[in-house]
A and B are shown apart, each in its own frame.
Chain A
Amino acid sequence: MPLMSATPAAQLEARLAGFAARLRKAGLPLGTAELLDALRALQYVDVSQKSMVKTALKATLAKNKNHQALFERIFEDYFIPPEEHSLRAREEARRRHKLELRYEEAARSLQFKGETLRLSTEEMLLYTSLPEEQRRGLLNFVRQTNEGKNVGPQFRPLLETVVKGHLSYWRSRMERSEPGAGGSGAANFGGAGSGSGENRLRQMDIRLIRNDELPAAEALIYKLSQKLVRRLTRRRKASRRGPLDLRRSIRNNLHYGGSIFWLRHRRKRPPRQQLLLICDVSASMQRYSVFVLQFIYGLQAAVQNLESFSFSDNLEYLSPALQRQKGLESLLARVVNESGNWGGGTNLSAALQQLLGSYRHLLNRRTCVIIVSDTKTLALEPSLQALLRLKLLVKKILWLNPLPPQQWRLYRSVDKVRQLTEMWPCHTIADLEAVVAGRIMADANNCYPNIDQEGGAIL
């Protein structure tokens, strides 16, 4: 029995259309079909009960876990009584004004040689919410650095790194002292980033993940790599049937006196895609390298057709070590302690030459090469030439770039490399997840040869 007589239908439809527009703006892929479903669903719930309306709309409009989390936030923001709406708007204006004042105060204080330090808005606001003593201490440090002898503009990145590290430490302390705090905590004013711990980790710059968050990040990376592994492993059940194989059917049914009693089909050969990962462990990439290695390790543990390399000024073949080592920690210790690569400069050209020379047997038209690097390399032109040679040998080159996409246009090397490869951001774990789920896994799916006959069994 429809229960929407209390609310005029047209008004409800208009409200729903406005809400859908908000959801679309937030990235939910809503079509007309979903909206019609939502309207139909609302006919069967009591629209005077907010929780019922929310459940009905959530089931029809938000169709994955992340979208449901977004839905929750937007719903609570959108469906509020008009009087509360204006009250909230006033509160929001006051809150914004306060934040602006705090930001200006931080920008005035945290300066180096007359210029404001390059910190994120979140970091600036975190500075203003530090305990008085800590704030004064950090300010003194910045001032003393400003006044130091022989302190030139080159010290600015170092100073910014130290300030960021200090703020990161205090954010972690504040979060620990306010467990379960919602969006009101000093450390949570970031807005979009708040939510479950896992979600926050997925969205944050890998470089800024703190040491105490590494186990959780490692578990997340493991989950992600296992997703990829499942798609790449061979079929464990009977293969999909292909078209009828008449020759094999006749041969196998000769003992039935010519009647073809049992049919034989051609089968698709299981995918044998070759993944080849090349991971940049040079100084500019050091912070990302641990994550990428964990990613590689997660794959290597269950996939046989995967080869892994690290490079900075030369190439190092990691696969044998990954197969031998019992755990990731010992592998990392080995890479860091024994390898000459760790923390060196980047020479992609030399690394690729080595790959094309010594490891040519690993490259064929089924190989999908995944390079993880920020493209900052010595000898760019020879590197591009080597990349072109590599491209001609393999199926595809995917380039995972830890630089945020908005910075890509600042680097000529990024532009040049993009012309030769398919480049994807891996600035955050969410980026890594997106490229694994959307591109690498899709690539694995599409690599099946169309029709392959079952080897050896055919006349």
Chain B
Amino acid sequence: MKLTLSQLRQGFAGAGYICDDSVVLTVYLALTLQKPLLIEGAPGVGKTEMGKVLARILNTTLIRLQCYEGLDETKALYEWNYQRQLLRIQMSKDTAGTELQEEELFSARYLLERPLLKAIQAEQTVVLLIDEVDKCDPEFEAFLFEVLSDFQVSIPELGTILARNIPVVVLTSNSERELSDGLKRRCLYLYLDFPSVEQETRIIMARVPGVGEHLAEKIARIISFLRRQDEIRKKPSIAETLDWARALLALKRDRLDGAVVADTLNLLLKTHHDQQLFHSRIGPEGINRALSHPHVEEGGCRCR
């Protein structure tokens, strides 16, 4: 399905994925040029969500390949159904008059399709989400080259399989390691940063029904303030912002100040180090100051 730029923009807005125009344009170019889109950014900025939202906008299936150390072709591409092949051999031995050809054993019937092959063999254009590609081994990354550049895979027993429909490929990375130049060359690149206060306010309002604009804006400002503290190691993600907003609604807290933040800190800062740092260097007063003096907060007030 071909989308225009404005249709894509409307699609993102309709799916509640709030982002700026440059993000939409980059996705549009990736779709138009039929190039994979490599998205990098801190954890929790909406990289994986982008793949899911695209599948919704394009009204198609999402096929997800979660990468991890040790992932190989048999988990990502295909594997022969060995047990079924064995049963077939046994059956042919037990049944007189049936002669089994080797080609039959290595046919599509005995092939277990894994996500990459599924995406290439799909009858319609699907979204292939290759999540956290930086976690896989460099050898597997090199293997991806063939799929991503030519949209084809080679299976020794069957030959080269060309994509029936070129899938929309979204790769995400948390930048745990630098990806190879070869992989990057085959992709368009998008770096997703944490949203601005204004954007995050809109995200909260779109995703958490019942939150008023005033509360949403305060939540976004506090989250933004916490993210700017260099010493905080695990910055709150958008998912944590939304969880916090939902929790505040459940607790019927329509006013937000430092004391409320301190009471619900477990939802925002999830390491002992970060929580200690909050109590020793920021505290409820620091939050109150940031809320009452947004210009000081923007300027980077660090601690009390």
A binds B: yes
Q: A residues touching B (Cβ–Cβ < 8 Å)?
A: 29, 31, 33-34, 37, 40-41, 44-45, 51-52, 54-56, 58-60, 62-65, 68, 179-180, 197-198, 215-216, 218-220, 222-223, 227, 230-231, 235-241, 259-263, 437-438, 441, 445
- Greatest chain A CB density within 10 A among B30, B69, B188, B299 is at B69
Q: Is B253 part of the contact surface with A, judged by Cβ < 8 Å?
A: no
Hey, which chain A residues are within 8 Å of B86, CB to CB?
Answer: 259-261
Q: List 18 A-B contacts (CB under 8 A).
A: A44-B28, A52-B25, A58-B22, A58-B26, A64-B175, A65-B191, A197-B230, A215-B231, A218-B231, A220-B230, A223-B233, A227-B176, A231-B176, A236-B68, A240-B70, A240-B72, A259-B86, A445-B137
Smallest CB separation, B126 vs chain A (Å): 22
Q: Is B101 part of the contact surface with A, judged by Cβ < 8 Å?
A: no
- Greatest chain A CB density within 10 A among B30, B70, B137 is at B70
A52→B29 CA distance, assembly (Å) = 11
Smallest CB separation, A13 vs chain B (Å): 17
Q: Are A180 and B299 in contact (CB under 8 A)?
A: yes
Closest to A267 in B: B70
Q: Are B299 and A64 in contact (CB under 8 A)?
A: no
Q: Are A437 and B231 in contact (CB under 8 A)?
A: no
A215→B236 CA distance, assembly (Å) = 19
Binary flags per residue of B157-185, CB closer than 8 Å to A gives 1, else 0: 00000000000000000011110010011
Q: Is B212 part of the contact surface with A, judged by Cβ < 8 Å?
A: no
Binary flags per residue of B184-215, CB closer than 8 Å to A gives 1, else 0: 11011111000000000000000000000000
Q: Of B33-41, B57-65, B241-249, B257-265, which binds chain A?
A: B33-41
A41→B232 CA distance, assembly (Å) = 39
Hey, which chain A residues are within 8 Å of B104, CB to CB?
Answer: none
Hey, which chain A residues are within 8 Å of B33, CB to CB?
Answer: 37, 40-41, 44
Q: Are A59 and B189 in contact (CB under 8 A)?
A: yes
Q: Are A59 and B70 in contact (CB under 8 A)?
A: no
Given known A64-B40, A227-B176, A437-B177, contact A235–B70 (CB-CB < 8 A): yes
| Apart from A45-B29, A65-B191, 11 more pairs, CB < 8 Å | A29-B181, A37-B35, A56-B29, A60-B29, A64-B40, A64-B189, A219-B232, A240-B70, A240-B72, A441-B177, A445-B137
Smallest CB separation, A415 vs chain B (Å): 30
Smallest CB separation, B76 vs chain A (Å): 12
Q: Are B32 and A55 in contact (CB under 8 A)?
A: no
A287→B199 CA distance, assembly (Å) = 42
Closest to B37 in A: A59
Q: Are A51 and B231 in contact (CB under 8 A)?
A: no
Closest to A56 in B: B29
Smallest CB separation, A172 vs chain B (Å): 13
Q: Are B188 and A263 in contact (CB under 8 A)?
A: no
- Greatest chain B CB density within 10 A among A65, A68, A198, A227 is at A65
Smallest CB separation, B297 vs chain A (Å): 11
Smallest CB separation, A1 vs chain B (Å): 9
Smallest CB separation, B197 vs chain A (Å): 15
Q: Is B21 part of the contact surface with A, judged by Cβ < 8 Å?
A: yes
A433→B56 CA distance, assembly (Å) = 39
What's the interface size class on B, roughly? Answer: 35 or more
Q: Is B298 part of the contact surface with A, judged by Cβ < 8 Å?
A: yes
Q: Are A240 and B231 in contact (CB under 8 A)?
A: no
Q: Are A45 and B231 in contact (CB under 8 A)?
A: no
Hey, which chain A residues are within 8 Å of B175, CB to CB?
Answer: 64-65
Hey, which chain B residues are within 8 Å of A62, CB to CB?
Answer: 189
Q: B residues touching A (Cβ–Cβ < 8 Å)?
A: 21-22, 25-26, 28-30, 32-33, 35, 38, 40, 68-72, 74, 82-83, 86, 90, 137-138, 175-178, 181, 184-185, 187-191, 230-233, 298-300
Closest to A60 in B: B188
Hey, which chain A residues are within 8 Å of B138, CB to CB?
Answer: 445
Q: Are B68 and A237 in contact (CB under 8 A)?
A: yes
Smallest CB separation, B215 vs chain A (Å): 27
Closest to A434 in B: B178
Q: Are B233 and A219 in contact (CB under 8 A)?
A: yes
**A37 in complex: contacting residue of B82, B188, B298, CB < 8 Å:** B188
Hey, which chain A residues are within 8 Å of B184, CB to CB?
Answer: 63-64
Q: Are A63 and B189 in contact (CB under 8 A)?
A: yes
Hey, which chain A residues are within 8 Å of B177, CB to CB?
Answer: 227, 231, 437, 441
Hey, which chain A residues are within 8 Å of B28, CB to CB?
Answer: 44
Q: Are B299 and A241 in contact (CB under 8 A)?
A: no
Given known A55-B22, A231-B177, A445-B138, contact A65–B40 (CB-CB < 8 A): yes
Smallest CB separation, A258 vs chain B (Å): 11
Closest to B32 in A: A44
Smallest CB separation, A264 vs chain B (Å): 12
Q: Are A63 and B22 in contact (CB under 8 A)?
A: no
A68→B38 CA distance, assembly (Å) = 14
Hey, which chain B residues are within 8 Å of A260, CB to CB?
Answer: 86
**A59 in complex: contacting residue of B29, B178, B231, CB < 8 Å:** B29
Q: Are A219 and B25 in contact (CB under 8 A)?
A: no
**A180 in complex: contacting residue of B38, B178, B298, CB < 8 Å:** B298
- Greatest chain B CB density within 10 A among A41, A63, A262, A437 is at A63
Q: Are B190 and A59 in contact (CB under 8 A)?
A: yes
Closest to A237 in B: B68
**B178 in complex: contacting residue of A33, A34, A219, A437, CB < 8 Å:** A437
Closest to A446 in B: B138
Q: Are A230 and B176 in contact (CB under 8 A)?
A: yes
- Greatest chain B CB density within 10 A among A33, A52, A60, A239 is at A60
5 nearest interchain CB pairs?
A: A179-B299, A216-B230, A63-B189, A63-B184, A55-B22
Smallest CB separation, B95 vs chain A (Å): 16
Hey, which chain B residues are within 8 Å of A227, CB to CB?
Answer: 176-177
Q: Are A41 and B70 in contact (CB under 8 A)?
A: no
Given known A41-B33, A240-B72, contact A34–B231 (CB-CB < 8 A): no
A180→B26 CA distance, assembly (Å) = 28
**B231 in complex: contacting residue of A54, A180, A219, CB < 8 Å:** A219
Hey, which chain B residues are within 8 Å of A441, CB to CB?
Answer: 177
Hey, which chain A residues are within 8 Å of B300, CB to CB?
Answer: 179-180, 197
Closest to A260 in B: B86
Q: Are B190 and A238 in contact (CB under 8 A)?
A: no
Q: Are B82 and A263 in contact (CB under 8 A)?
A: yes
Smallest CB separation, B23 vs chain A (Å): 9
Q: Are B69 and A259 in contact (CB under 8 A)?
A: no
Hey, which chain B residues are within 8 Å of A231, CB to CB?
Answer: 176-177
**A51 in complex: contacting residue of B22, B30, B137, B233, CB < 8 Å:** B22
Q: Are B230 and A219 in contact (CB under 8 A)?
A: yes
A227→B135 CA distance, assembly (Å) = 11
A59→B74 CA distance, assembly (Å) = 32
Hey, which chain A residues are within 8 Å of B74, CB to CB?
Answer: 241
Closest to B70 in A: A240
Given known A237-B69, A259-B90, A261-B83, contact A64–B178 (CB-CB < 8 A): yes
Hey, which chain A residues are within 8 Å of B26, CB to CB?
Answer: 55, 58-59
Closest to A265 in B: B74
Smallest CB separation, A295 vs chain B (Å): 15
